[in-house]
Amino acid sequence: MDLLRTSISKNYKLYITQCRRMHLLKKQAYINGQWVQSQSKVLFPVTNPANDSVITEIPDMDAHDTKHAVQVAANTFQTWRDTTAKERSRILRKWFDLCEKNSEDLAQVITAESGKPLSESRGEVAYGNSFLEWFADTARHINGEIIPSPWPNKQILLTRQPLGVVSVITPWNFPFAMITRKVGALMAAGCTCVIKPSEDTPLSALAAAELAHQAGVPKGVINVVTASRKNAPAVGQVMCEDHSVGCISFTGSTHVGKILYGLAAKGVKRVALELGGNAPFIVFASADIEHAVDQAMLAKFRNNGQACIGANRFLIHEDVYDKFVKEFKARIGSKCILGPGTKEGVTCGPLVNLEQAKKVSGLVDDAVSKGAKVLAGGKFATELGNKFYESTLLINVKPDMNIFTEEIFGPVATCLKFKNEAEALKIANSTRSGLASYVFTKDLGQAFRMSQKLEFGMVAINDGILSAAEPAFGGIKESGIGREGSLHGVEEYTDIKYTLMSGLDK
């Protein structure tokens, strides 16, 4: 009986602790500073991908709800735009402070709905918070220009003004950080927003909104519309086509980005698109192989491969190919621990949904059927559930395989051999994607040549992690338009106004 009482006591304490940590779990949408239901009162479930259990049900909003949210944001913009940069900075700083204070609670929400390990969720919160801190400072450094005039009695002024309501559409892989990276920037610029989070991970957005509310963000500046996959197209159409919207900020797949870009074109609206990637990870003969393998683990298996900047194609010089592949396989075997995100020691959680799980397994099966060889993984860990895919290493990958040309977005690394720098560049650039790329070399001249010739918006030399609040994050070609983070990330949400001051000699 004593053992039974002890067990019950421990379970009860664990339950109470989990309840306290989930106090940021909101069950309603957030519009005009209030927690609201949809007009239809219809709800949809948010599930835990590790076991398919329902976490909660939230409002399934439609086009009418979205129009209302956009109008609220448009009305609020008329006053928010006139707040001082100092005031916006103060509010963002307070939001940052509250997110820092509630970091563990935010991480619990992220893990519950996305499945990622708690250690990664904590990392995401720290990363997301860094944007609020950065933009709190940046708000006071959005400067204009005075240009030397060609006329003796006139002066040319360029000022940056907020462009209005921003429609923010965010993905499921970093559900908190993608909110702060976008909303922190647009608020610093003086804009308001309507956020439509992924239907798979809306709770992180609502938790962020709750902390923004506590921080004193004025009602109507941030609005969160929640919708199921069924209603997402109608909601997205309003967010792109409503005349009150000045910009669409989207992170997600290239396919969806093109659709939103087309909708935005009807109103000639500004877009900030951070789309898919197909990142090369290039290892030259001079590289420190142990370091390259360490960084490969970060570049590939962070968030179980579900990252737009995740390395897809590992291009290894023929002189070090066997050594790299051997070390990489060993590291995957020892470091990739698959399981539910709440379990101690787990480094790789489930894929976010069945659709994603089928896509990843389909790409591997296609590659194997065309001659690729599996050195590690290559199958579902069915004993854990239906969305746990083993960390996988493939060799003998060829350009005619789908896995070579498509973004994997899962825990699958493909290794290819190259002979020289020119061949590595040809293979790396043979994609319409142009987001991130990684190069490992001790040759300084080679590092600069690769940086110049790689057709990607971001190049990391001897590092597998390149994202932070300070640099300008973004891609070229079909990987997007615009930049996030840095001062450039704020300027995306401003228009340049030219004012000519004349008659100064009268």
Say whether both 127 and 46 belong to one domain.
yes
Report the pLDDT value the prediction gives residue 15, as an integer from 0 to 100.
Answer: 38
**β partners of residue 279:** 311
Longest dimension (CA), the chain: 97
Report the pLDDT value the prediction gives residue 400, as an integer from 0 to 100.
Answer: 85
Mark whether 348 is an active-site residue. no
15 in any annotated domain: no
Say whether both 341 and 412 belong to one domain.
yes
Of the candidates 274, 390, 484, 491, the residue annotated as catalytic is: 274
Domain that holds residue 102: 24-275+483-494
Total of domains in the chain: 2
Say whether both 203 and 245 belong to one domain.
yes
Say whether both 269 and 372 belong to one domain.
no
Say whether both 167 and 48 belong to one domain.
yes
What lies within 8 Å, CB to CB, of 163 at 6+ separation is 189, 191, 246, 247, 270, 493, 494, 495
Say whether both 303 and 408 belong to one domain.
yes
Say whether both 269 and 285 belong to one domain.
no
375 in any annotated domain: yes
Helix (H, G, I), strand (E, B) or coil at 430: coil
Say whether both 288 and 356 belong to one domain.
yes
478 in any annotated domain: no
228 in any annotated domain: yes
> Which of 166, 162, 192 minimizes the C-alpha distance to 494?
162
Q: What is the DSSP letter of 476?
A: S
Distance CA 386, CA 119 (A): 22
> Which of 403, 414, 409, 322 minimizes the C-alpha distance to 377?
414
Distance CA 454, CA 439 (A): 10
**β partners of residue 282:** 315, 439
| Helix, strand, coil in percent for the chain, rounding step 5 | 45, 20, 35
Q: Both tokens of residue 381?
A: 């860990």
CATH (domain of 138): 3.40.605.10
β-pairing verdict for 392-395 and 412-418 = parallel
| Burial track 283-301 (b if 16+ CB lie within 10 A, e otherwise) | bbeebebeebbebbbebbb
Say whether both 209 and 238 belong to one domain.
yes
Say whether both 109 and 254 belong to one domain.
yes
Say whether both 247 and 306 belong to one domain.
no
Distance CA 40, CA 213 (A): 25
16 in any annotated domain: no
Residue 270 main-chain phi, psi, to 5 deg:
-70, 140
CATH (domain of 430): 3.40.309.10
Of the candidates 240, 308, 348, 415, the residue annotated as catalytic is: 308
160 in any annotated domain: yes
Distance CA 276, CA 257 (A): 9
377 in any annotated domain: yes
Mark whether 344 is an active-site residue. no
> Which of 248, 239, 253, 237 minimizes the C-alpha distance to 270?
248
505 in any annotated domain: no
Q: Which ranges of 268-313 does DSSP label H, i.e. alpha helix?
A: 289-301
Tens digit of each residue's pLDDT, the chain (506 residues):
454 444 444 443 443 444 456 789 999 999 999 999 999 999 999 999 999 999 999 999 999 999 999 999 999 999 999 999 999 999 999 999 999 999 999 999 999 999 999 999 999 999 999 999 999 999 999 999 999 999 999 999 999 999 999 999 999 999 999 999 999 999 999 999 999 999 999 999 999 999 999 999 999 999 999 999 999 999 999 999 999 999 999 999 999 999 999 999 999 999 999 999 999 999 999 999 999 999 999 999 999 999 999 999 999 999 999 999 999 999 999 999 999 999 999 999 999 999 999 999 999 999 999 999 999 999 999 999 999 999 999 999 998 899 999 999 999 999 999 999 999 999 999 999 999 999 999 999 999 999 999 999 999 999 999 999 999 999 999 999 999 999 999 999 999 999 999 987 77
Place of tokens 């709190």: 136
| Burial track 435-474 (b if 16+ CB lie within 10 A, e otherwise) | bbbbbbbeeeebbeebeeebbbbbbbbeebebbebeebbb
Say whether both 305 and 245 belong to one domain.
no
